[in-house]
Amino acid sequence: MVNVLSSDRLISGATRVVGILGDPVAHSRSPAMHNAAFAALGLDWVYVPFPVAATDVSAAVAAVRALGLAGVNVTVPHKQAVLAHCDALTPLARRVGAVNTIVNRGGRLLGDNTDVHGFAQTLRAARLRLRGRHAVVIGAGGAARAVLAALGAAGAARITLANRTAARARALAARRWCAPVRVAALAALADPATLADAALVVNTTSAALDGGDFPAVAYAATPAGCLFVDLLYGHPTAFLAGARRARRRAEDGGAMLLHQGARAFTLWTGRRAPLEVMRGAV
């Protein structure tokens, strides 16, 4: 699908503008998803992708205010960096330590996190019962923070956090989560003992966007009902391919994209999100 406005939709001074700040951002399906929703509800809104380098995060958030954007989504790698530039944070965004949605309330920028809801919906749709179980999270960036919050809410008994940079994982594990978080090296994913009782293994890293090699994972060591989720969407990843070869359930980040987007849509517009239209556009 092409991210264009249909010819009967004209931009005017009344058009409300939202968008997404990230690097890279060209791969994002959020513009297609939100523009389809605006069209379906007849809203004079437009959603635009904005590539923003790490050095420009402060200026980009200031521009949301200066240009009167109704809000923005924030994606890799800026979900933590934008925190300091918001005027206020929701309690959830503060607890998670990451913002994926900014709402412009009359020039005051409120940072929120709808990824937590998006991931919780992913678990619900997969009918995964996590209460009392072990979950493994790969990566320790902004997306991992939302996943940790959702896993705690879902009742996971313990979480293993594996990341390339150990210090970043240790800093994240030291925050207050609802379940104990043990830090591991990426190499531990190849050890069958790490995954032997895992009910869920989630890849939150952007390794596939970097074109980097994905670390070895002992897929077949997991219980037969283990669910593998990759937060990336739209293209096959080595992580999900490995899970499928081991005959495990494998889900990409499509459901998380949809549900985090639906909640952001409602925060900006005050309208119920047309979920089926958005799902179709993704």
Q: What's the length of the chain?
A: 282
Distance CA 76, CA 97 (A): 14
Letters for 159-188 (x = contact with ligand ATR by CB under 6 A, - = none) are ----xxx--x--------------------
Q: For residues 182 and 153, is the Cβ–Cβ distance under 8 A?
A: no
Annotated catalytic, 101?
no
Nearer to ligand ATR, 27 or 168 (CB): 168
Binding to ligand ATR (CB under 6 A) within 73-112 occurs at 76-77, 79
Closest CA relative to residue 219, chosen from 193, 187, 246, 199: 246
Letters for 117-156 (x = contact with ligand ATR by CB under 6 A, - = none) are ----------------------xxxxxx------------
Contacts of 13 (CB under 8 A, 6+ apart): none
* Choices 46-54, 192-200, 205-213, 217-225; region in contact with ligand ATR by CB under 6 A: 205-213
Q: DSSP for 189-236?
A: GGSHHHHTTEEEEEE---HHHHTPPPPP--GGGS-TT-EEEES--SS-
Contacts of 8 (CB under 8 A, 6+ apart): none
Nearer to ligand ATR, 143 or 250 (CB): 143
In the complex, minimum distance from the CB of residue 48 to ligand ATR, in angstroms, rounded to a whole number: 20
Nearer to ligand ATR, 36 or 138 (CB): 138
Q: For residues 97 and 127, is the Cβ–Cβ distance under 8 A?
A: no
Query: In this chain, which of 206, 244, 249, 254 binds ligand ATR, going by CB under 6 A?
Result: 206
Question: Quick check: 254 binds ligand ATR (CB under 6 A)?
Answer: no
Contacts of 108 (CB under 8 A, 6+ apart): 87, 88
Provide the binding-site residues for ligand ATR, judged by CB under 6 A: 76-77, 79, 139-144, 163-165, 168, 204-207, 210, 212
The residues carrying an active-site annotation are 79
